[in-house]
Structure 1
Amino acid sequence: MSTDKKTLLLVDGSSYLYRAFHAMPDLRADPGDPASPATGAIRGMVNMMQKLRKDVRADYAVCVFDAKGPTFRDALYPDYKAQRSPMPDDLRSQVAPIHEVVRLLGWKVLDVPGVEADDVIGTLACMASKQSIEVIISSGDKDLSQLVDEHITVIDTMNDRRRDLAGVEAEFGVPPRLMVDYQTLVGDAVDNVPGVPKVGPKTAVKWLLEYGSLDALVARADEIKGVVGENLRQTLDWLPRGRELLTIKKDCELVDYIDGLPAMESIAMGPQQTEALKGFYQKYGFKGLVRQIEIESTPPELISAPEGRPAQPKAKVADTSSPGLFDEPAPADTPPLAERTTNLRYDTVLSWELFDTWLAKIEAADLVALDTETTSLDEMLAQIVGLSFSVQPGAAAYIPLTHDYPDAPEQLPRNEVLARLKPWLENPAKSKLGQHVKYDRHVFANHGIEVQGYAHDTMLQSYVLEVTKPHGLASLAERHVGRSGINYEDLCGKGAHQIKFNQVDIAKAAEYSCEDSDQTLDVHRVLWPQVQANEKLRFIYDLEMQSSEALYRIERNGVLIDAPMLATQSHELGQRIVQLEAEAYEIAGQPFNLGSPKQLGEIFFDKLGMPVIKKTPSGARSTDEEVLEKLAEDYPLPAKLLEHRSLSKLKGTYTDKLAQLALPRTGRVHTHYAQAVAVTGRLSSNDPNLQNIPVRTPEGRRVREAFVAPGGSVIASADYSQIELRIMAHLSGDEALLRAFTDGLDVHKATAAEVFSVDLAQVSSEQRRYAKVINFGLIYGMSSFGLARNLGIETRAAAAYIDKYFQRYPGVKNYMEQTVVFAQDNHFVETVFGRRLYLAEINGGNGPRKKAAERQAINAPMQGTAADLIKLSMVKVQQVLDAEKRATKMIMQVHDELVFEVPEAEVEWLRTEIPRLMAGVAELKVPLLAEIGVGPNWEQAH
């Protein structure tokens, strides 16, 4: 035997699977089908096993589960565990898949009939301990403490508890050798094993320390005084059986389950079965785990320095966050792919001679349309399968690089092709055109190439010119140049049978990719003159192109995530959610489905007599969010449900998923910022969505604590102060509002002074609160009814406040009225910088929709101008960071806020320079103000 110290890691699988089941949300293999198989426990189990394997180095590893059927304890005591509820059906259905995936993760899996998991663990632990092998048992079960010795330690990872010799004694008051005696005295309510009546932990510890053991205590039972002494004596006949029930077996017969006992080779920690795991994850809908495998299998040479990021793919996508941005399906009358004919001049480059010919063409061209074909929609993972170029209408070339299918022709080596293209790709003087170029920049960066010279992006041209229309290439080509093309699903299929692009026949792939580059060039020739013709739109387009560059940098940087902190938050949220369910059941007087409107209606209105607030279009009694909020003012059950929904959403959307979305090599998440989505110019964020983290609750704010800085750095947040109110002052030109900002007053206090006709110094906190609601409410077009509801006052009083506001700020009222008239005449409004915001229903006949369009007309210029300003700031700040070669990184853009990762040496520079830069990107009639906060995490930086 080797002299090296070996370790056996034993996992209490039954404890794990219950924890996983209760900690995870109700995940389904098909999220859209509630009847599809439950997968939450499986997903939680994978998380826990992966983390444990990472945290504990082990030579041998076994995960032990309880087997089906009775054990020897049931024969010994028929009431053993009689009070336990049966395993939930949704958990029972996941047990077999859990066994399967744990094996695929490299663990030996055991479930031995006739005994419990604890007994198998006890047998293996003692066997290894006798061989001086270090044993670590991972479980939350305190019963396993009786196994602890100088070689055996129990760890409870969920509660960060370590039970070694000292730990057991510190926790229970007795050493491990007395744990069975201790348990026998106090009993085990969970397993329905009685102890001595009225004897709790303190009495049990006192007796055992005084008498030395249970046997010694029993021998001198007559000495124990009082009621507890009498109880002890009346229990003497039971205690031997109780001890036998609670004693973990250490001699289970395992030869039929483990080969070669007592040798340990058959339970050595095995490698993960990557391909089988990938198939398993795909079967159960675990996209994040599939993504993790793809990352881990990425060849090192595809990782770009200094990002340390793996390479990845693409299937014709413009901006993956919006349904309107995917290539659209071909029209129904489009002939099958095989029947299409074309006179276009498309080359497939399979020789160095033809490669050199096309390299000369692109180097000589004034503008080249460039497109990548890749292996993934995830820009941080995508690897290049092939490239296409177009330099003039109707002429394009495709360079296949990694197509892999039977009889595929020999292709030029990818690394050499990219190396020869790199000087042109990285030359800023060589103008390039693309469709959603930010994605392609990431793809090339995955291969160590930082593309320079992207002059145009047809997706952004469309976004600036026609914000409300789809911006996918297929839609653009059909709309502007009358061309239809090959659909991605024509090539790759769809659903479970879809193949990857590297499996597509090269001839078909060449036609598809060349067509994309060719159509991109065609579309550009139509859209670009329209952008050039309007000075304001040209400014907005230039801003969008510069923002694309800055966002690429932010996405590439990513933000560091504290995964253990999120795991703790998830666990705590899970416990609170379970508690809320129990409290809801108690209030209702019965268990029920918290997500069933029908059951809620029966309990609310029939059983508990709550008033019906409103009905659904079908006539049913509504229990939607608005109704719950109203009822929660007077009834506890709706309040419990609202909290349950809020915490479940927080857990499912953020604390459970953020760490899964982090790239394993860096521990960072890399959100995708979609530019061509919101009509106001605001960005949207997804995978993960950083814009919607709730910050009005303590639990929501805690999520931001998990966004952290590495050692030696801090997180800084730079946020525009009251930006939309400042923009309102600029747009309206109202003298009182301008004066408040110019004089540096508290604008809400100033508004309160005007509305309530009091001196500024006399404004109360309640008056300021009212004024704040009025200020922000009116810029969103809030009615007197809406204001009354927000303030909790009568509608008549709210209307009076609005009238008084407009009397004091007549410029604001005038701006609102004129803006609506302008929108009705022109069907759009503009931001301060000329971004057009179209309002299709501003002249519609439908009353509520027309009113909504009028409110949007008032607010959109403010919201859009705020979006323009934060983009201007983002661009300017990145330019300065680059010019001064600062180590500070922009890592997030959220609403009116820029977030930075800052080395401690640059904090003072940032505190001074970033507010100055942000305040100086534009001159309005009022000063812009940006405020800085610094802290170890995002939450503390506010």
Structure 2
Amino acid sequence: MSQAPLVLVDGSSYLYRAFHALPPLTTSKGLPTGAVKGVLNMLKSLRKQYPDSPFAVVFDAKGGTFRDEMFAEYKANRPSMPDDMRVQIEPLHQSVIALGFPLLCVEGVEADDVIGTLARSSAAADRPVVISTGDKDMAQLVDGHITLVNTMTGSALDVEGVKEKFGVAPEQIIDYLALMGDSSDNIPGVPGIGPKTASGLLVGVNGGLTELYAQLDIVPTLPIRGAKTLPAKLEEHKEMAFLSYQLATIKIDVPLDIGLDDLQMGRPDHDKLAELYTLLEFKSWFEENQRDAKRSGQEVTVPVAEEAAVETELKYTTILTQADFDLWLKKLNDAKLIAFDTETTGIDAQQAQLVGLSFAVQANEAAYIPLTHSYMGVPDQLDRDTVLRALKPILEDPNKLKVGQHAKFDMNILANCAIGGDQNCGITVQGIAFDTMLESYVLDSTATRHDMDSLALKYLNHTTTSFQDIAGKGAKQLTFDQISVELAGPYAAEDADVTLRLHQTLQEKLNAIPSLSKVLSEIEMPLVPVLARIERQGALVDANLLGIQSVELGDKMVALEREAFAIAGEEFNLGSPKQLGVILYEKLGLPILSKTAKGQASTAEAVLAELAEQDYPLPKVLMQYRSMSKLKSTYTDRLPEQINPRTGRIHTSYHQAVAATGRLSSSDPNLQNIPIRTAEGRRIRQAFVAPKGYKLLAADYSQIELRIMAHLAKDEGLLHAFRNDLDVHKATAAEVFGVELADVTTDQRRSAKAINFGLIYGMSAFGLAKQIGVDRKQSQAYIDRYFARYPGVLAYMERTRTQAAEQGFVETIFGRRLYLPEINAKNPALRKGAERTAINAPMQGTAADIIKKAMVAVDNWLTSSGLDAKVILQVHDELVLEVREDLVDQVRDEIRVHMSDAVKLDVPLLVEVGVGNNWDEAH
């Protein structure tokens, strides 16, 4: 029987990866726990895979290592550890030990060195070793006994795997890293040598650095791009290459006071785990620990608060009889607040079919009413239409208060549910007073994700049943109507119950901050039915016109591809970062402006844009190609496929709880990002058309964020410009450039516009110089003159920075908050970024609040007036309406009034209105 492998876990690697890759979680007291949960999940998974193995979980110790003495700039590029990660280290270490895993931290060396020493020692004793890590440096340890596994991705690397992945054998990995460097550890390597060149060199000389430097004369003959220039480059950086070799080498002789026999798993400390899981609010693990302790005959002292929570009885009912339904109808009629949820065949609210509904009126008690489950052997269900007709008066009663989680989806499903087969006879849900997704979002837009699973874990310490748990995964995943009622019932009932319990918790927190409670009740909740109506209305698009545009874009892409091949002198795949990197940096010798996390020269959009600005021809062509490709794949090809077969229209989905500042976003399709500065982008808007007898009307706030700046800063110069309807950019140009208003040139106005908007977004003198084409000194002079002319703006910025640092958040005019966890960070870059956000967020957030209030006002007016006009789109600061032709003048005048009056500022809000047969014409 083969020996169980020694399992060595790179705890530090997984701590960083879990922290950055997984959704942030915090306890009700604000203690971050996401990284702890991620690492412990990984360890539990490994333990199941290797139940008989000895283990060691190895973490970096505090303080420097021998590599810092060797090279002072080692790991200098790494930002300091975030505070939210640092506070998780101690509870993670304690949890690892309490679970019975041997934990090692050795001063003066890194976790890699401890792992390397143990791995080689075990391999020398003919014992197999599994190293669990996500670190590529560890590949140097792989041999016939040692394998790498990445628990987060499920991948494994043996000797052949290393060769396939890196192009070199494990014994050449150190040489490979020495040549290409490692930006994450600030190992310098040889500038300009990437992974492909490094592997090509080592394979070509059939050895490592020593063999390479002994055979530099053969390098030009190797089949490597740019081989002729490599010998000089290698010779120039020889000293750095060998230093990099030392830095990349994992020690395998660290003196350790433990042996392999000391790495056996210990018994779990159930008392300590109970204490830790209570602190970390890992409720499901707490309960699992209690069961494990009981099975092993141990008595565990349960903290009082947890003891009560563990024993809570859930009363979930699946309603299959008229008697049970009548009982719940009475409960719903008598309830002061109803939590409800729909179960459907899909997630497209305009096409999915209703499968069932769940309700809760008090915590820990809920019911599910299955209506259209359709698998073999399904029990008899109540008649769908009879149930919906009975629920309709309750759901449509505006005085019967309701709470949902992402209730807009449920509203649209019920509006489209066609009782009796009549498409015009659905349920128009009214009385949605609360939405737990929006309660969480308003409370803190950035603290967590706002889906039910994340909220339940954060605020209730409850792990919900996931859809995959009952439906399966991948291609074989069942739709909800195919899931057995026995499984579907508790799952659906839990949704309603958790929604109610979340509301009870979140409402209490919001009530403690009246300004946030007001944002929820006066802005976000009134907007929910408005957005639901806009989504159901949809927008008409001309699929034929999009098809023509797609062909034209394809032709332009072919021409650009040919131009790229001509510049490169060969054909290559424009979509391949690898091939592109070789062409740009090895063949054409363009400067490397940035590297990827893997140390490869970056071909990201921002890098190409910067190279294009430096007048390199290939990056310019590539930027055009990528722009065309994105328009084609995202819009001209995709939009026709998104036309709803029932309505003949496109129905985007609007999201209230995504952007941190309060702005709406949209998806399927995302209409916020259609470019309007290019002719091709504007042509896509031409495909959004008005039906016969109607026009499209676009109403857009003009310079709203600058107007908000004037209001917030109380600067007399800006207030004067807006109150007197001056061209604010010309007015700024006159002030900054010291000329009369009438003498301002087009270029001066353009520069002033860049200054006006740049300062709102925290643009530096360097950034402004780049944008307006002057040197940094001149740019700084413009900014200084701007602040001298508009001192109120400078005072606002300084005041905002100070307030943000003191209170940890900024607010919009209406009291919406944006928390800034890094406003007092020791890292200057993080702190400066938070300060820029602090200055901009009140303006951007207030603009978002204003358009939301305007949407509600316009919707109320259209609903009460009965006019044949409907809002079909909202994009940034713009509303697009479909209006009957004979009503255009009336609607134009009225909408300007309603949008201008949405809020009273110290300066007037200007609304520009356009009309046309398509969106582009109207805009």
Which range, TM-score by smaller chain?
0.5 to 0.7
The residue that corresponds to 2:379 in the other structure is: 409
Q: Which residue of structure 2 lines up, in the alignment, with residue 518 of structure 1? A: 497
Taking the aligned partners of 2:771 and 2:491, their CA distance within structure 1 comes to 55
Other-structure match for 2:365? 395
Q: What secondary structure, in the 3-state scheme, does the structure 1 residue paired with 2:711 have?
A: helix
- What are the equivalent positions in structure 2 for 1:163-174 lying under 5 Å apart? none
Query: Match of 1:559, SS?
Result: coil
Q: How far has the Cα of 1:507 moved from its partner?
A: 2.3
Report what 1:738 is aligned to: 719
Instruction: Give the letter aligned to residue 516 of structure 2.
Output: L
Query: Cα distance 1:351–1:612, how it changes in 2: closer, same or farther (>3 A)?
Result: closer
The one of 871, 874, 891 equivalent to 1:890 is 871
The aligned residue for residue 637 of structure 1 is 618
Are 1:458 and 2:436 an aligned pair? yes
| Whole-angstrom CA distance in 2 between matches of 1:666 and 1:355 | 34
* Secondary structure in structure 2 of the residue aligned to 1:714: strand
- What residue is the counterpart of 1:368 in the other structure? 338
Q: 1:622/1:463 Cα in 2 relative to 1: closer, same or farther (>3 Å)?
A: closer
Which residue number corresponds to residue 646 of structure 1? Answer: 627
Equivalent positions of 1:131-142 (< 5 A) are none
Output one character per residue of 1:128-154: Cα deviation in whole Å (capped at 9) or x when no partner: xxxxxxxxxxxxxxxxxxxxxxxxxxx
Deviations 1:79-107 (A, max 9, x none): xxxxxxxxxxxxxxxxxxxxxxxxxxxxx
After superposition, residues 507-906 of structure 1 pair within 5 angstroms as 507-542=486-521, 543-616=523-596, 620-633=600-613, 634-906=615-887
- Deviations, residues 690-716 of structure 1 (Å, cap 9, x unaligned): 000011110011000000110000111
User: Counterparts of 1:791 and 1:400 in 2: how far apart (Å)?
Assistant: 63
C-alpha distance after superposition, 1:645-690 (max 9, x if no partner): 1100110111000110110233211001010111100011000000
Whether the 8 Å CA contact 1:329–1:487 is kept in 2: the answer is no
Instruction: Give the drift of 1:392.
Output: 1.4
Question: How far is the alpha carbon of 1:518 from its aligned partner?
Answer: 1.4
Q: 1:491 to 1:617 in 2, by over 3 A?
A: closer
Equivalent position SS for 2:674: coil
Say if 2:444 and 2:818, in contact at 8 Å, map to a contact too: no
Identify unmatched segments of 5+ residues in structure 2.
1-280, 293-309, 418-425
Q: CA offset at residue 342 of structure 1? A: 6.8
After TM superposition, the score normalised by the length of structure 2 is 0.65
> Is residue 498 from structure 1 mapped to residue 477 from structure 2 by the alignment?
yes
Counterpart Cα distance in 2 of 1:454 and 1:937: 34
Code of the aligned partner of 1:515: E
Letter in 1 for 2:369: I
Map residues 312-323 of structure 1 onto 2, 5 A cutoff.
Answer: none
Indicate yes or no: 2:449 matched with 1:473.
no
- The residue type equivalent to 1:587 in the other structure is I
1:133-172 pair list within 5 angstroms: none
Q: Is the 8 A contact 2:337 2:402 kept in 1?
A: yes
Q: Contact 1:531 / 1:538 at 8 angstroms: preserved in 2?
A: yes
Q: How far apart are the structure 2 equivalents of 1:837 and 1:894?
A: 22
Answer yes or no: is the 8 Å Cα contact 1:673–1:684 preserved in 2: yes
Shift of 1:546: 0.8
**Correspondence for 1:199:** none
Q: Which amino acid aligns with 2:710?
A: A
SS of the residue corresponding to residue 798 of structure 2 reads helix
Query: Can you list the C-alpha shifts for 1:557-593, whole angstroms capped at 9, x where unaligned?
Result: 1100100000000011011111111121122221112
Q: Which runs of 5 or more residues in structure 1 are unaligned?
A: 1-327
How many angstroms does 1:619 deviate by? 5.0
Aligned in 2, Cα 1:568/1:796: closer, same or farther, shift over 3 Å?
Answer: same
Cα distance per residue 1:2-35 (max 9 Å; x no partner): xxxxxxxxxxxxxxxxxxxxxxxxxxxxxxxxxx
2:335 corresponds to which letter in structure 1?
A
8 Å contact from structure 2 (residues 873, 879) kept in 1? yes
Distance across 2 between alignment mates of 1:558 and 1:896: 19
- Once the two structures are superposed, what CA deviation does each residue of 1:264-307 show, in whole Å capped at 9, x if it has no partner? xxxxxxxxxxxxxxxxxxxxxxxxxxxxxxxxxxxxxxxxxxxx
Deviation at 1:842? 0.7
Letter paired with 1:785:
F
Query: Which letter does structure 2 place at the counterpart of 1:410?
Result: D
Q: Equivalents in 2 of 1:659, 1:371: separation in Å?
A: 31
Distance 1:771 1:400, change over 3 A: same
Are residue 357 (structure 1) and residue 327 (structure 2) matched? Answer: yes
Measured in 2, the distance between the counterparts of 1:605 and 1:433 equals 57
Q: Match for residue 445 of structure 1?
A: 415
Matched residues in 2 for 1:490 and 1:626: separation?
41
Tell me the amino acid that sits aligned with residue 485 of structure 2. Answer: I
- Letter of the structure 2 residue corresponding to residue 443 of structure 1: I
Contact between 1:330 and 1:485, CA under 8 Å: does it hold in 2? no
- Structure 1 residues 580, 332: CA separation in 2 closer, same or farther (over 3 Å shift)? farther
Residue identity matched to 1:915: R
Cα deviation digits, residues 798-828 of structure 1 (max 9, x gap) = 0000000000000000100110111111110
Deviations along 1:169-207, one digit per CA (max 9) or x if unpaired, are xxxxxxxxxxxxxxxxxxxxxxxxxxxxxxxxxxxxxxx
CA distance, structure 2, for counterparts of residue 419 and residue 555 of structure 1: 24
Number of the residue aligned with 1:343? 313
Contact 2:284–2:462 under 8 Å retained in 1: no
Superposed CA offset, 1:28-86 (max 9, x none): xxxxxxxxxxxxxxxxxxxxxxxxxxxxxxxxxxxxxxxxxxxxxxxxxxxxxxxxxxx
3-state SS, counterpart of residue 768 of structure 1: helix
Instruction: Give the Å deviation of 1:454.
Output: 1.2
Aligned match of 2:461 in 465, 471, 482? 482
Residue 343 of structure 1: CA displacement? Answer: 2.5
Determine the C-alpha separation between the residues in 2 that align with 1:612 and 1:341: 61
Name the CA distance, whole Å, in 1 between partners of 2:608 and 2:638: 27
Deviates more, 1:611-620 or 1:779-788: 611-620
TM-score (norm 1): 0.63
Cα deviation digits, residues 581-623 of structure 1 (max 9, x gap): 1121122221112133443344334444544445556554444
- State how far apart, in whole Å, the 2-side matches of 1:606 and 1:343 are: 67
Local SS of the residue matching 1:863: helix
Q: Distance in 1 between matches of 2:282 and 2:480?
A: 17
1:435 pairs with 2:405 = yes
SS at match of 1:561: coil
Structure 1 pair 357–622 and aligned structure 2 pair: CA distance change class (3 A): closer
- Kept in 2: contact 1:382–1:446 (CA 8 A): no
Distance across 2 between alignment mates of 1:892 and 1:650: 19
Cα deviation for residue 720 of structure 1 reads 0.3
Cα offset, 1:497, TM superposition: 2.5
- CA change 1:876–1:592 in 2 (3 A) is same
State which structure, 1 or 2, has the greater radius of gyration over its C-alpha atoms.
Answer: 1
Does the 8 A contact of 2:282 with 2:461 survive in 1?
no
Structure 1 CA distance for aligned equivalents of residues 483 and 287 of structure 2: 20
Cα distance in 1, alignment partners of residues 832 and 913 from structure 2: 38
2:353 aligned partner, one-letter code: Q
Structure 1 residues 181-239: Cα deviation after superposition (integer angstroms, max 9, x where no partner): xxxxxxxxxxxxxxxxxxxxxxxxxxxxxxxxxxxxxxxxxxxxxxxxxxxxxxxxxxx
- Partners of 1:851 and 1:333 in 2: how far apart? 41
